[in-house]
Amino acid sequence: MPNAFVIDIGTQSMRGIVFDQHGNLLVKKQVKYKPYLSKQNGYMEQDPEMYWEVLCEICRSVSEENPLLLKEVVAMSVDTFRDTAVLLDADRNVLRNCILWSDQRMAKLDTKLPTLQRVAFSLVGMTRTINAIRKKIKTTWVRQNQPEIWAKVDKVAHLSAYINYKLTGNLVDCYASAIGHLPFYNKKKRWFKENELLFPIFELPLSMMTPLVSPGEVMGTITAEVSALTGLPEGLEIIASGSDKGCETLGVGCIDSDVASISFGTSSTVQFSSKKYFEPEPFMPSYPAVLKDYYNPEVQIFRGYWMISWFKKNFAQHLEKRAAEEGKSVEEMMNEEIASIPAGSDGLVLQPFWQAGLTTPEAKGAIIGFTDFHTRAHVYRAIIEGIDFALREGLERMERRGKIHIRQISVSGGGSQSDLICQIAANVFNKPVRRVQTYETSALGAAIVVMTAKGVYPDAHSAVKAMVHYTDCFTPDPKCVRKYNEIYKNIYLKLYSKLQKFYLKLED
């Protein structure tokens, strides 16, 4: 029976997973790591070599414990989190820790854009957004603050490209992984040319970019040296898949444009698959999908379900002992606490912008409606509802811009393991919410690409039909839907415009 081996690299842990051709998870090895090295407030870095060492550890474990199963692996793929670049010198040595997607340091606007760009962005009212993008380009920050390192940079590679290089000796990436602050032309699935409008924003020469291939292409094979380090068979093909979010969307079966994929992960997103390219927000691109000839329009809540970890760390440490005694997680206990709180958290409404977006660079988090009977549990429920409100707003905007109608939702990510969280989402969105057979949907999406590329299935649609199985469906409760619609339309949608002037004042 043909199997696919996938390495899924997340922000907080890495997993090595083997799926069979029917989407059954046969093997899973997970290693958690300290996600951030930097102690400076807002700075979030990691040593790229750590990811490689953990990958080798996982592969050795899988190969030693499952030697016969590994012989049935037809190919391997790697999916990684997005927007994290590795700086390499001419000998492909790592020059510094990679700055992660969640890092909040800002570069300075120390150079002027060409006149054409300044005029064009001003005419369409996007100057503030473009400036916000420029400030978030971490290679610019390195150039400004660490010129001695920047002088040695030969290549700027996404983490996905670096891992491909370590596995195969080929520094190459998939265009479905090229998501981040590099000069990538999403619509045409290639790097920008020097004469194109957005190229000067990034202040990076094309010579620093890595070659790109399409999903499903072979990027290389396991070398003899890597085989000795990992236990993987020499010559095993590495198939290009894509980013973790893109793989998640495929892994929950989101192929048709009437189904949205919502990820309740560290960063929460809502996206869907579309053959038509359109911008989900002005100057915000749709990303190339892992599914060939498709795009993934997306809205992202940058901190998303990281807010649950933030809340647990700051307000729920007292539950850890009791959770351990009862054999539960702290999240499970918190979910039990909020089950009896009604929809709307008894009047508490939260805006989940713990980290601002590009089109709302001044945004901050906000909670309104406190009274003396609100508890810690009310705040926790308001966080969950606030994330859903923000995702609903983004989805409705994309529906209008793309002229489509979403009729149901498929969910993934850590939050999707909770029945209560899935039911709240069904009520907020007023759409059925479906959950598939495995929590490891990013890896499942990459496995679908492998099975299609190796001819196990003739196309991705056939592979999805055979490998994605819906096990749970949460239907909207009319009473809760009415309550959430009232809060969403009459309070939540008006909240940002009312608070924006205060957010801007806080920037002073």
pLDDT tens sequence across 452-470:
999 999 999 999 999 999 9
Domain containing 12 equals: 3-240
Residues 195 and 332 in one domain: no
On whether both 219 and 271 belong to a single domain, the answer is no
Q: How sure is the predictor about 70, in pLDDT bands with cuts at 50, 70 and 90? A: confident
Answer yes or no: is 459 within a domain: yes
In this structure, the answer to whether residues 135 and 170 fall within a common structural domain is yes
Task: Tell whether 134 and 268 lie within a shared domain.
Answer: no
Task: Please report whether residue 84 resides in a domain.
Answer: yes
Same domain, 322 and 220: no
Kindly report whether the global pTM for this prediction surpasses the value 0.85: yes
Contact 3, 19 (CB under 8 A): yes
pLDDT at 206: 96
What 3-state DSSP class applies to 249? Answer: helix
**Where residue 414 falls among pLDDT bands split at 50, 70, 90?**
confident
Distance CA 6, CA 77 (A): 5
**Residues 480, 350 share a domain:** yes
Tens-place pLDDT, residues 91-139:
999 999 999 998 989 999 999 999 999 999 999 888 988 998 999 999 9
CA pair distance 29, 57, nearest whole angstrom: 10
Could you tell me if 295 and 421 lie in one domain? yes
- CATH code assigned at 325: 3.30.420.40
pLDDT, tens only, 361-411: 778 889 999 999 999 999 999 999 999 999 999 999 999 999 999 999 999
Q: Give the sheet arrangement for strand 470-474, strand by strand.
A: 298-301, 268-272, 259-264, 408-412, 433-436, 470-474
Considering 240, 274, 294, which residue would you say is the last residue of a domain? 240
pLDDT digits (tens, 9 = 90+) for 189-205: 999 999 999 999 999 99
Round to whole Å and give the CA distance between 273 and 257: 5
Q: How far apart, in whole angstroms, are the C-alpha atoms of residue 446 and residue 239? A: 9
Q: Of 240, 261, 280, which residue sits at a domain end?
A: 240
In tens, the pLDDT along 48-66 reads 999 999 999 999 999 999 9
User: Is residue 248 one of the residues assigned to a domain?
Assistant: no
Q: Which of 177, 205, 240 is the last residue of a domain?
A: 240
Can you spell out the DSSP letters for 68-111?
HHHHTEEEEEEEE-SS-EEEE-TT--B-SPEEPTT--------S
Distance of alpha carbon 112 from alpha carbon 89, whole angstroms: 28
Q: Is the per-residue pLDDT at 359 higher than 70? A: no
By CB atoms closer than 10 A (0-12, 13-18, 19+), residue 303 is buried
Q: What is the pLDDT of residues 280-310, one digit of tens each?
A: 987 789 999 999 899 999 998 877 787 888 8
Q: What is Dmax (Cα atoms) for the chain?
A: 66
Please enumerate in sequence order all residues whose Cβ is within 8 A of that of 371, keeping only pairs 6 or more positions apart, or say none.
346, 347
User: In 195-329, which ranges are continuous DSSP H helix?
Assistant: 199-202, 224-230, 244-251, 306-315, 319-326
Phi, psi of 234 (to 5 degrees): -60, 135
Q: Domain for residue 483, yes or no?
A: yes
Q: How far apart are the first and last CA of the chain?
A: 62
Tell me the three-class secondary structure of 106-161, residue by residue: CCCCCCCCCHHHHHHHHHCCCHHHHHHHHHCCHHHHHHHHCHHHHCCCCEEEEHHH
Here the tokens at position 399 are 């529906």
366 and 493, same domain (yes or no): yes
Verify that 172 and 290 share a domain, yes or no. no
Give the number of domains in the chain: 2
How is residue 34 written in tokens?
């300290």
Using CA atoms in the order 40, 380, 309, 415, what is the torsion angle rounded to 10 degrees? -140
Give residue 79's pLDDT: 97
Long-range Cβ contacts of 42-46 (<8 Å, 24+ apart): 42/103, 42/104, 42/105, 43/99, 43/103, 43/104, 43/105, 44/99, 44/100, 44/102, 44/103, 44/104, 45/97, 45/98, 45/99, 45/100, 45/103, 46/97, 46/98, 46/100
Residue 445 lies in a domain: no
Give residue-wise pLDDT tens across range 233-286: 999 999 999 999 999 999 999 998 899 999 988 788 999 999 999 999 877 899
C-alpha of 461 from chain center: 23
Question: What tens digit of pLDDT does each residue of 470-490 get?
Answer: 999 999 999 999 999 999 999
280 plus 233 within the same structural domain = no
- One domain, residues 175 and 269: no
The average pLDDT across 4-9 equals 98
- Those residues with Cβ within 8 angstroms of residue 33's Cβ, 6 or more apart along the chain or in another chain: 12, 13, 14, 50, 54
CB 229 within 8 A of CB 207: no
245 belongs to a structural domain: no
pLDDT at 357: 66
Q: 109 lies in a domain? A: yes
Same structural domain for residues 362 and 392?
yes
Distance CA 337, CA 344 (A): 15
Residue 447, in any domain of the structure: no
How many other C-beta atoms can be found within 10 angstroms of the C-beta atom of residue 410?
25
Element (H, E) at 49: helix 48-65
Average pLDDT over residues 319-324: 87
